[in-house]
Structure 1
Amino acid sequence: MAECCVRAWVTGKVQGVWFRRSTQHQALEYRLTGYAKNLPDGRVEVLLCGSRDAVKTVSEWLWQGPEGAQVTHVELDVLDQCHAPDHFATY
């Protein structure tokens, strides 16, 4: 199974709507590691590491987010060199 890591920056109404916790739930469901954290500029930064198919699925979910979120843009960066964490955290 091919492994990869992707860093995403999610823009829109994504803070104060359970976006980080919902992202963690999705990641754990697909056995991904990484994190979701609020940024001072209102975006959420997400790191997803695991199987390519699972990373792709959760990356696509980021465009939807939880109920109440209004995602306007998702920027993805595939990481060539990344030390995958052993769990998924929210900050």
Structure 2
Amino acid sequence: MAVYRFIISGKVQGVWYRKFVSENAKKAGFKGYVRNLPDTRVEAVAEIENDERLKEFIEILKKGSPYSEVKDIEIEQIEDIKFNDFEIRY
């Protein structure tokens, strides 16, 4: 199990993006969070079991809500953090 941090840029604030990511990540069984950043980007952090699950999570981030437009996703592996669920942070 590894923990990854994703920074998503594009039209991702004020377009139901966090709600979409949170709902779909929960449905798929991911644990972590998603939140807006002050610079108009969005941060997501998730526990990922393997490469296949990483691809699945990235697809959720890429798809986004019908109103969003993802231009770029930066990915980095970070120190392990344990989560109980997937949530929207404010």
TM-score by length of 1: 0.86
Other-structure match for 1:9: 7
| Aligned Cα root-mean-square deviation (Å) | 1.3
2:46 pairs, out of 16, 31, 48, with 48
Other-structure match for 1:57: 56
Structure 1 portions without partners, runs of 5+: none
CA contact (8 A) 1:32 1:55 kept: no
After the TM superposition, which segments of 4 or more aligned residues of structure 1 sit over 4 Å from their partners? none
Other-structure match for 1:32: 30
CA distance in 2, matches of 1:9, 1:27: 16
Q: Which amino acid aligns with 2:20?
A: S
Aligned length: 88
Structure 2 portions without partners, runs of 5+: none
Query: Aligned to 1:10, what secondary structure does the other structure show?
Result: strand
Q: Which amino acid aligns with 1:68?
A: Y
